[in-house]
Amino acid sequence: MSEDTTTLPEGAAPDAAAAAAEAAQEQSDIFNGTGRTGLRNARSSDGNDTRAIPAFVFGEELADLADVDPRVVVLTADLARANRAVDFAERHPDRFFNVGIAEKNMITVAAGLASCGYVPFAATFASFAALLGCEQIRTDCAYPKMPVRVVGHHSGVSMGFYGTSHHSPEDLGIMRTIADLTVVCATDANHLRALLRASLDHPGAMYLRLGRGRDRDVYDEVPDLTIGKAITVRPGDDLTIIATGTEVEPSLRAAEALAESGHSVGVIDMFTVSPLDTEAVLSAAARTGAVLTVEEANVTNGLGTAVAECLFQSGTGQPVRFRKVGIPDAYVPVGPPAALYAHYGLDAAGITKTAKEMLV
Amino acid sequence: MRHPEDTQPPTPDQLALLADRATFIRSETVRLAAIAGAGHYTSVFSIAEILATLYYGQLRLTPDEPRDPDRDRVILSKGHAAIGLYPVLADLGYFEPSALDDYTRLGSPFGDHPDMKKVPGIDFSSGSLGHGLSIGVGMALGGRLGGRDYRTWVLLGDAELNEGQVWEAAMSAAHFGLGNLVAVVDNNQLGIDGMTRDTMAVEPLRERFESFGWEVQRVDGHDVGALLAAYAALPDTAHRVPQVIVADTVKGRGVRAMEYSPDWHVGNLVGEDYDDVMAEIAAGLRPLEARA
């Protein structure tokens, strides 16, 4: 399970590249729970070290978009360093608004700006955006169809040992029940760029769900995507894994592992959770007769529930084996993120195991 | 009607017209409530003069082009008073007055709380108390960013100030230097459960807003001349300090049985009661009686 861990030779004098890898390692120690004391040759890392969060292209991409689109404005709630909105603020200081630790105000101010023709991106931890700001998203953004893009980052349990106050397993379920709110999850850095670009002219309000910024690459380049249309990232005939956000990458690795044992497993990136691409769900079910959903979210009312609803209501009469993997409807124990993913079977090994049970 | 740029003191005729429009707001509220079978009488009666002076004497309005980017914005943060605003918008030509005849019926654009997507002249939907000032901050930021000199007006209830988001917004308005934002507090002193000071006190309002970095005026909210003077005293929109007008009002003002009464926050007048109240409203404001 320790894919993210790189082993550094203790005592070796690091050159520049090794120093960078080492600094990133300090960051991934948090993720993997592999920190140790007494590393005499290790380097300290501070809050400015962004090398371990390559997927946080949020501020940089929006700054590029803002160069040519005067509608783009960015708001955050004292988390510009955590979500890299600082990369936007440096280039467009007059179009960046830090409201301090006041998330409800942030979302509603964004709605006010949207009513004046702007396309505001309001970013904070998903736990605060979607749970604390839920009513502001519903009443001030979705209901009046304001083009506010609420960006919930560090979603799911990616905050690891920060604990339940900083987890958002509930956000997908809550957000997808709000009418006229498009709910999308970013898969990796290139995918996030594509989502941000596609969001500019998308009608109505949107909730963008981001991980912790350390998401490994699924897309080699910025994908050509349409919001509401799933992307088949790997075809397969025996089983279809329908995953979203951070779970697409381990699902792909699971499919690769299963291919080695002779199973043809497909993976669909269901990055739009609402409205669901029901056509993709039904055609996958027709093709493989077995659907496994994987999400870093509470299995109550998340992606898996949406897919199950779609299958049950399809009226095809075709039997479909169905399982969902996610966070159970219970609070999460203390642990580093990687350990929590392993604990819930949300890493490649866990997904492989569940898939095998379905393939027997 | 006064022109928004008119710098002369209001004439007696202008003041009389504004008082007449306040009467119109009250009587239309009673009429529409009867159609719905329920209405927020007292919350409108306390702001009748505020609405009349704003809409007939102050705002830069564009009824023919409701989304004109240079118009003044108004957010009725106490959205439950929409029943008193719809007739004003109809009167000013935003839509036909007859559109209100099926007020609140299935499919009507007009609900108890206003919907910006359905009602021309409503700059933002409201109903959930505590949101309006944040909307106003966004609109004021948008105005400055776009180089437009409109004002954003937010009409708040006093009990609404219990909501924490109001103070998040107040803090940010001062921090961002939004002198183009004007809050008007309808200090009618009553919430649903009784006097605001008994349920959850909001005073001292002047000191609280000043400590949040706002400039404060305090006026008699039923005195149309005093309201106009407060609007006239507002600094230029390029000013860097947000403005609040605390309007001391009486909930239910204009109908003696409703004044200071928590019993008529929502109600339904029918029969002789309806006729008696309409007659009392038509007679205009009488001196306020001391509260029991």
Please, which pLDDT band fits residue B8 given cuts at 50, 70 and 90?
confident
In-domain check, residue B112:
yes
At A121, list the tokens. 């991106």
- The runs of H, that is alpha helices, within A242-345 are 248-260, 278-288, 303-312, 337-343
CB pair distance less than 8 Å for A116 and B165: no
Query: Would you state the pLDDT for residue A273?
Result: 98
Query: A283: Cβ–Cβ under 8 A, 6 or more apart, which residues?
Result: none
E strands along chain B, which residues? 73-76, 152-157, 181-187, 215-220, 243-248
CB atoms within 10 A of CB A92: 17
Cβ of B245: how many Cβ atoms within 10 Å?
Answer: 24
CA dihedral A285, A289, A292, A293 (to 10 degrees): 10
Q: What is the structure's pLDDT at B228? A: 97
Let me know: does A188 contact A214? Beta carbons within 8 Å. Answer: no
The answer to whether B143 faces chain A, any CB pair under 8 Å, is yes
- The whole domain housing B135 covers 12-282
CB atoms within 10 A of CB A328: 11
Residue A121 CA, distance from chain mean position: 16
Peptide bond into A203 cis (omega under 30): no
Q: What is the pLDDT of residue B203?
A: 97
Give residue B188's pLDDT: 96
- pLDDT of B205 higher than 90: yes
Alpha-carbon gap, residue A200 to A192, rounded angstroms: 13
DSSP A232: E
> Would you say B40 and B192 are in contact if contact means Cβ atoms under 8 Å apart?
no
A interface mutation test: which of B131, B166, B171 has the most A CBs within 10 A?
Answer: B131
- For A95-155, give the DSSP string: GEEE--S-HHHHHHHHHHHHTTT-EEEEEEEHIIIIIITHHHIIIIIITTT---EEEEES-
A234: part of which helix (H) or strand (E)?
A: strand A231-234
Give residue A222's Cα distance to chain centre.
16
ipTM comes to 0.94
Within-domain flag for B2: no
Eight-state DSSP code of residue A280: H
Q: Do B171 and A100 touch (CB under 8 A)?
A: yes
Residue B46 token pair: 């306390």
- Cis bond before residue A9 (omega within 30° of 0): no
Q: Give residue B5's pLDDT band: very low, low, confident or very high (50, 70, 90).
A: low
Please indicate whether, in this complex, the C-beta atoms of B169 and A116 are within 8 angstroms of each other.
Answer: no
Instruction: Supply the pLDDT for residue A13.
Output: 45
pLDDT by residue (tens digit) across A278-323? 999 999 999 999 999 999 999 999 999 999 999 999 888 889 999 9
Does the structure show a pLDDT above 80 at B291? no
Q: What pLDDT score was predicted for residue A240?
A: 98
**How far is the CA of A253 from the CAs of A29, A250, A325, in angstroms?**
22, 5, 15
Contact criterion met (CB below 8 Å) for B57 and B14: yes
Using DSSP, state whether A215 is helix, strand or coil. Answer: coil
- Per residue of chain A (360 residues), give pLDDT as tens: 344 433 434 444 445 555 555 555 545 777 888 877 777 777 666 666 665 566 689 999 999 999 999 999 999 999 999 999 999 999 999 999 999 999 999 999 999 999 999 999 999 999 999 999 999 999 999 999 999 999 999 999 999 999 999 999 999 999 999 999 999 999 999 999 999 999 999 999 999 999 988 888 999 999 999 999 999 999 999 999 999 999 999 999 999 999 999 999 999 999 999 999 999 999 999 999 999 999 999 999 999 999 999 999 988 888 999 999 999 999 999 999 999 999 999 999 999 999 999 997
Q: How far does the CA of residue B133 sit from the closest CA of chain A (Å)?
A: 9
DSSP 8-state assignment for residue B286: P
DSSP A167-206: -BTTHHHHHHTSTTEEEEE--SHHHHHHHHHHHTT--SEE
User: Which residues between 179 and 208 in chain A have a beta carbon less than 8 angstroms from any beta carbon of chain B?
Assistant: none
Query: Which string of DSSP letters, residue by residue, matches B12-79?
Result: HHHHHHHHHHHHHHHHHHHHHHHHHT-B-HHHHHTTHHHHHHHHHHT----TTSTT-TTSPEEEESSG
Return the closest-CA partner of residue A173 out of A183, A165, A163. A183
Are the beta carbons of A304 and A326 closer than 8 angstroms?
A: yes
| Residue A47 pLDDT | 66
Which of A73, A102, A139 is facing B131, going by the closest CB pair? Answer: A139
CATH number of the domain that residue B25 is part of: 3.40.50.970
For residues B144 and B90, what is the distance between their CA atoms, to the nearest angstrom?
Answer: 30
Domains observed in chain A: 58-209 (3.40.50.970), 231-359 (3.40.50.920)
Longest CA–CA span in chain A (Å) reads: 65
The reply to whether B131 touches chain A by the CB within 8 Å rule is: yes
- For A112, which of B69, B134, B168 is closest by C-beta distance? B134
- Residue closest to B22 by CA, chosen among B94, B115, B91, B98: B91
DSSP for residue A221:
S
User: What proportions of chain B, in percent to the nearest 5, are helix, strand and coil?
Assistant: 45, 10, 45
Instruction: Tell me what pLDDT residue A9 has.
Output: 40
Place of tokens 């050509």: A224
Single-letter amino acid code for the residue at A42: A
For chain B, what's the residue count? Answer: 292
Q: Are strands A265-269 and A231-234 parallel, antiparallel or unpaired?
A: antiparallel
**B224 and B253 Cβ atoms separated by less than 8 Å:** no
Asked if B149 is an interface residue toward chain A (Cβ–Cβ < 8 A), one would say no
pLDDT at B103: 96
Residue B225 maps to a domain: yes
What per-residue confidence (pLDDT) applies to A265?
Answer: 98
Q: Does residue B152 contact residue B70 with C-beta atoms inside 8 Å? A: no
- Give Cα separations from A181 to A75, A184, A309 (angstroms): 19, 10, 19
What residues does A168 pair with on adjacent strands?
A156
- pLDDT digit string, tens, across residues B250-282: 999 999 999 998 888 888 999 999 999 999 999
Structural domain includes residue B291: no
User: Residues B17, B19, B23, CA angle at the centre, nearest 5°?
Assistant: 110
The answer to whether position B46 is within a domain reads yes
- Chain B: nearest CA to A105, how far in angstroms? 6
Q: Which residues of B touch A140 (CB under 8 A)?
A: 125, 131, 134-135
Kindly list the distances between the CA atom of residue B223 and the CA atoms of A114, B109, B205, B219, in Å, as whole numbers in the listed order: 36, 32, 19, 8
pLDDT tens-digit readout, B142-197: 999 999 999 999 999 999 999 999 999 999 999 999 999 999 999 999 999 999 99
Number of compact structural domains in chain B:
1
CB B194 within 8 A of CB B262: yes
Any chain A CB within 8 A of the CB of B99? no
Name the A residues in 83-142 with CB < 8 Å from any B CB: 94-95, 97, 99-100, 102, 104-105, 108-118, 120, 135-136, 139-140
What whole-number distance in Å separates Cα of residue A299 and Cα of residue A274?
15
pLDDT band at B15 (very low <50, low <70, confident <90, very high): very high
In a domain, B62, yes or no: yes
pLDDT of residue B276: 96
Kindly report the CA angle at A200 between A199 and A204, in degrees rounded to 5?
70
